[in-house]
Each structure stands twice: as C-alpha cells, then as structure tokens.
Amino acid sequence: MTSMRTLPHVDRVGVAERVAALGKRSIKGDAKRQGLLLAISMLDLTTLEGADTPGKVRQLAAKAVTPSPAYPEMPSCAAVCVYPAMVSVARDAVAGTGVHVASVATGFPAGQTPLATRLEEVRLAVADGADEIDMVISRDAYLRGDDAVVRSEIEAVKDACGDAHLKVILETVELGSYDHVRHASMLAMDAGADFIKTSTGKAAEGATPGVILVMLEAIRDYVERTGRVVGMKPAGGVSTSKAALGVLVLVKETLGDEWLTPDLLRIGASSVLNDLLLQYAKTESGRYGRAEDFSKE
C-alpha cells in the first residue's frame, strides 16, 4: 500500500545559485580561526571499516578527545562514530571526557536487514554505551512510495533508542532529487529524528552544499511549524577545511547562529580533522604546514 505523496517544490537551479553565492563568503582572520575550532568541536570523528579493530578505535577516540596536544585551547570533537561491535571499546576510551559515542546501527549502510534485527542492533548498541544512534532509512520503502513504512520504522528505532539521540540518515544521493530530499527530511523529523543526516559516506555522493541547504531549509520550516528543535549532520564529502567552513556558512545564513553548536550541528568525517588542524596551525604560525605535523589517528 503506497501513500499519496505530494512533493514540495524545490528548484535545483535556484539551490545551485544560492549555494554558489554562499560558497563565496570570505572567511579570514579571526573568523577562520574560530570557525576551525568550531568545526572541530562539531566533528563526529568516524571510522566505519571492516578492518576496524579495538586498537584503531582507541587511537581514534584519543584523537577525538585531544585533536592536537600542541594546542591546548582546542576543543575535543563532539563524538566518535563507530560500528555497533566497537561501541564498548569507544565508550571505555572516551569515558569521562564529554565526548559522545555514536554508532551506526540498523544494518548500516544499506539498511536491508529485517526490522526486528535492526531494532535489536540499536538496543544492543545503546546497551553497550552508545548515546547517539545514526540510523539509515529504508530507501526501498521510500523509493516505492511507502512513506508510512519509513515513518513507522523511524518511530520504532526512536523508541528502541531510549535516551540515546537519534540521527536519521537519508542517503540523499539515492533519493534522486531535492524535492525528495526535502520530503524525506520532513518525514524523518515528523517521525521523531533528533538530527537529520545527509549520507552514510558509503554511496557515490555525500553531503553536497545543495543537499545541506535543502535539509537546513526543511529544518527551519519544521521548527517554525512545530517548535521542536532538530539538528543537522552533513556527512560524507566534507573532507576539507573549506568545505567544513562552508557548512558553517550555510547553517549560519539559513538557520542562524543558534545552530552553531555541537548540540545542533555535527559534521561526520574522518579525514577532515587533520586538514582543520593544518589550517589552524597556519593561522597560528603564519606558515603553511605538512602532514607529518599531526598524527594520522
């Protein structure tokens, strides 16, 4: 049984022009320095590999807690993001630091496992100490037009999360158009998402500025309509400092300064952290840096 769907209207060319304009904001001096620190504090430092081991996860967690010992003023990252099997390792590694543990439960990244399995995965991850769950929506249900299934699954996962925060991944590149990105954003928020998140990082394309803008606009509408505040997490594709600062610009000029906090804005990435550190070092020393100045993990 499919739902009768009325898609919102989003004009792709208009979106492209707006993000191009915002992409030209010049971030220099203090704004850049503060922006880099802000971006670091919003990172969900992520490792999602088949080859992840407890050792790798512990190293990543240490880096999330102290991104660079050379700069004591530097904040910790917001969270480490790992597969469910690594949650307990990550939890132990960040214990007492304020860094959150996020886990991609729900048959990540395809979501093609039975709902019961996904819900159990969520419950186990939370039990192991994840305080944030990044779920994927059922793209198969979405693409066949069954919004009701998408919604009820999100509600079920939200219920399984208990106190853990729920980030709902739309995997926007698979939805096919901005109209759908916006529609799916609304669907996820209506179903109880605490954050909406662009991508798994495992598909052909991740968080493009256009997709981020459309989702931010959806959040603004949703908050205006319901009063419930929802956060945003671009993930996949934010791999340079320029891109990370670009996210801050998009959020600042769409949702406003109130959203420039790790409580409401996260950036899912792994490799971007070292570029942020390099750029930060440059703002402090005036010298262009090199990769060896920072640990890889």
**Residues with a known catalytic role:** 134, 197, 233
Write down the least CB distance from residue 211 to other proteins, Å: 14
* From candidates 1, 4, 24, 286, binder to other proteins by CB under 8 A: 24
Interface mask toward other proteins for 154-183; x: CB under 8 A: -----------------------x------
Give whichever of 26 and 287 is closer to other proteins, judged by the CB atom.
26
Tokens of 191: 């179903």
All residues at 6 or more sequence positions from 134 whose CB lies less than 8 Å from its CB, including other chains = 81, 102, 103, 104, 105, 108, 167, 169, 197, 233, 268
Give CA–CA dist 17/14, Å, rounded: 5
* From candidates 1, 9, 204, 292, binder to other proteins by CB under 8 A: 9
If one asks whether residue 28 binds other proteins (CB under 8 A), the answer comes out as yes
Write down the least CB distance from residue 215 to other proteins, Å: 12
Using the rule CB under 8 A, give the single segment among 12-20, 50-58, 92-100, 230-238 that binds other proteins: 12-20
Give whichever of 30 and 292 is closer to other proteins, judged by the CB atom.
30
267 in Cβ contact with 233 (< 8 Å) = yes
118 in Cβ contact with 149 (< 8 Å) = no
Give residues in contact with other proteins (CB under 8 A).
8-18, 24-32, 34-35, 38, 177, 217, 248, 252-253, 257, 260-261
